[in-house]
Chains A and B, each alone.
Chain A
Amino acid sequence: MKNALGRIESVLVLGGGSDIALATVGGLVANRARTVVLAGRNLAAIDAAGNELRSAGAVVTAVEFDALNLESHTNFVNDTWKRFGDFDIVILAFGSLGEQSLDERDPLAAAEVITANFTGAATVGIAVAERLRQQGHGSLVVLSSVAGERVRRANFIYGSAKAGMDGFFLGLGEALRGTGAHVMVVRPGFVHTKMTANLKAAPLAVTPDKIAADILRAISHGSELVWSPPAMRVLMSVLRHLPRVVFRRLPI
């Protein structure tokens, strides 16, 4: 159970290889979280990623989870709860940037990016929400992106999927009000991670540790929406309201 000062005992990460999620869990474990379950496609890789958490004192288990296999999500969630009991926090951290220039001319490749970022998040999100509702407490932390705040030409498949999932989880959070369960949508800006290693950094780019610190603070505050870094909120609010003719000429 989460205590009055925001300490938690158990956490499940969907997309267990995520740099941001692992940095966040690192903070939770330093704060004495004991049970860590990392779920993802590449079992060996996420199991190895858990070693640092193990040496920090957590009991880490890697389990197989495929965001694209929508049919498997309900069973996956039910099995995971049966095996580990309640989770105080679930971090939904999987996603895929895709390869925009190819995907925008390949319908099925585009669909896969949309499934990885939106549809798969929605199906597993609903299954998780049901468990949180039943256990009467717990937080679902969802990694969205500022890319969904105003969708750009350069990554509109990823951006539109994130826009969808962002709205979906804000709405799910409203639906869960009063049930003891809580949803927190995190909108990171450009983060230096494995996923963005080949991209040119955008303004206000930060490290996963910085995002994790913002997430940890927001968890103890019980926030529902987190911009990270916080200045992103101002920047995006300007970008969002620019006329299209201006927006499309920006070098972003």
Chain B
Amino acid sequence: MDNSGLPGSVTQELLSGWARTSPSSATVWAPDSSDSIRKHLGDDYPRGIVARGLGRSYGDAAQNAGGHVIDSTANSEILNLDVDRGVVTCEAGVSLATLMQVLVPMGWFPTVIPGTRFVTVGGAIASDIHGKFRHGSFCDYVEQATLTCPTGESFAIGPNETGRSLDAYWATAGGMGLTGVVTEATLRLHEIESAWMLVDTERCNDLDECMARMLDSDDVFRYSVAWIDTMATGASLGRSILERGNHAPRASLDTKHAKLANDYSPRFSIEAPSWFPNKLINKLSVKAFNELWFRKAPKSSKEHIASIVSFFHPLDAVLGWNRIYGSRGFLQYQFVVPYGAESVVRTALERLAALGAPSFLAVLKRFETSNPGLLSFPMPGWTLAVDVPCGISGLAELLDGLDDLVIEAGGRVYLAKDSRLDRSRIEAMYPRINEWRAIQESLDPHGTMQSDLDRRLGLKENSH
């Protein structure tokens, strides 16, 4: 096919998600401007097109085998910053890392940030990402966005719009990039007094204790997360470290930190080597690491001052940490279940421990709200995220079994993390998917928006 008409660079690349599984090849187009996306999204792409940001979704959401992929990081300008109102307008390829670098010294913070700052605004909208903040996900704090559709149309969408623009917004929020391409967005920011966090850390001896403490006292913290040692079994199942924090008010800072009150300067300490043996992450190595991590945390520590990076993004310090799992890659299983279904979290931890799946990162968080996003993940309840190396036998069947428990409890798995869900379970997890399909089809009547995730899960009707 002839790609010579596309303005900007065009290359053939093998793409995979953050977990490095199921790579596929696509024609990657880095448009010379957002305007070019508007002009060319309606072109004929025999195997479709999808936008990709920084490639942090774990599975195949930003891949399009044999088709086209837009490298949206090519368009990453901050267009307008209204310091009085606390809103920023930027191109969709801007990363939260860039936004934070600009905003934090000025006393503003993105309202919702995930566990890595290397995500683009466009990707954050497409996945309706969430983080340690419990009161809503990314798309709850978008004031307006510009959506370009394959029909060539480009229009404002947002939660305050009406009619088609409103429908298109809630189909795009969490819509995994299949409604078109968001080229610009205006975000509502959170005002902060300093670039520091006041963090409370506590050890919890088991899952019940951890959940009880979160329910009891989360409300005095803006952010909360529990790190669970998945290798602990029996009576100490769910042994965890609870980390909760707030932005530090200026008055709370000692002189040393007050001097650097607005200093936000993330540094990279290490880069993971490019090659790791496949068996590096095993039961023994993880058990040792988890034990160390648990012992290192204070039994209880109140209001210690931490940097934004160390609180929100400890893993970003090791660039390319996804490579430690070796060539076979890994996956992250993340689900949410409503309050009352705590037993599903327990069962998931029990079964993963019984299988001997080594996992450093089991993260338990809570949501207080959901939004009208038709494919949005968050709902009031518990969300557990577990990283597991792929090579473990019996893993596929175990996760299928957990899917059934999650569905029974009225929960769902997170599409931005998924790389293995069976398509037969999508409708039970996302009961409003038919409404989404109708809107998606009206925005993309010829089926131009395509991705490997969609091919695998059949999110769109009649998709192949």
Contact = CB atoms under 8 A, between A and B. Distances in A.
B65 A3 contact: no
Interface residues of B, number: 33
B21 A4 contact: yes
Interface in A74-102: 85-86
A2 B396 CA distance: 13
A135 B419 contact: no
A137 B419 CA distance: 15
A4 B420 contact: yes
A60 B329 CA distance: 32
A137 to B, nearest CB: 4
B67 A1 contact: no
A178 B23 CA distance: 9
B115 interface: no
B375 to A, nearest CB: 19
B426 to A, nearest CB: 13
Contacts of B26: 136
A33 to B, nearest CB: 12
A1 B59 contact: no
B331 interface: yes
Nearest to B399: A5
Contact of B65 (A4, A5, A136): A136
A1 B329 CA distance: 17
Contacts of B420: 3-5, 7
Contacts of A1: 22, 24, 60, 65, 452, 455-456
A72 interface: no
A3 B65 CA distance: 13
B66 A7 contact: no
B317 interface: no
A28 to B, nearest CB: 13
A43 B25 CA distance: 35
- Tell me the interface secondary structure of chain A in the complex: loop
Contact of B25 (A2, A85, A180): A180
A37 to B, nearest CB: 15
B358 to A, nearest CB: 16
Contact of A180 (B21, B23, B421, B455): B23
A4 B331 contact: yes
Contacts of B396: 5, 7, 31
A237 interface: no
Interface in A6-33: 7, 9, 31-32
A134 interface: yes
Interface in B196-226: none
A32 B423 CA distance: 11
A221 B391 CA distance: 8
Contacts of B329: 4
- Tell me the interface secondary structure of chain B in the complex: loop
Nearest to B419: A4
Nearest to A135: B66
A4 B390 contact: yes
Nearest to A179: B25
A180 B14 contact: yes
A125 B26 CA distance: 22
B19 A137 contact: no
B38 interface: no
A179 B65 CA distance: 10
A4 B19 CA distance: 9
Contacts of A2: 22
A180 B419 contact: no
A251 B455 CA distance: 53
A136 B420 CA distance: 19
A85 B464 CA distance: 8
B15 to A, nearest CB: 9
A31 B394 CA distance: 12
Interface string B45-64: 00100000000000110001
A16 to B, nearest CB: 23
A222 B328 CA distance: 8
A226 to B, nearest CB: 16
Nearest to A31: B396
Contacts of A32: 422
A1 B61 CA distance: 12
Interface string B365-406: 000000000000000000000000011000110010000000
B355 to A, nearest CB: 13
A86 B19 CA distance: 24
Given A4-B19, A4-B420, A5-B395, A180 B24 contact: yes
Nearest to B23: A180
A178 B16 CA distance: 12
Contacts of B464: 85-86
Contacts of A85: 464
A137 B12 CA distance: 13
A4 B22 contact: yes
A179 B12 CA distance: 8
A31 B464 CA distance: 19
B331 A136 contact: no
Contacts of B395: 5
Given A5-B390, A136-B47, A136-B66, 6 more contacts: A1-B24, A4-B21, A7-B420, A133-B25, A137-B22, A178-B25
16 contacts: A1-B452, A3-B22, A3-B456, A4-B22, A4-B59, A7-B420, A86-B65, A133-B25, A135-B47, A135-B65, A136-B47, A137-B24, A137-B65, A180-B25, A221-B391, A222-B327
Would you list the 4 A-B pairs with minimal beta carbon distance, nearest first? A136-B66, A180-B25, A136-B65, A4-B419
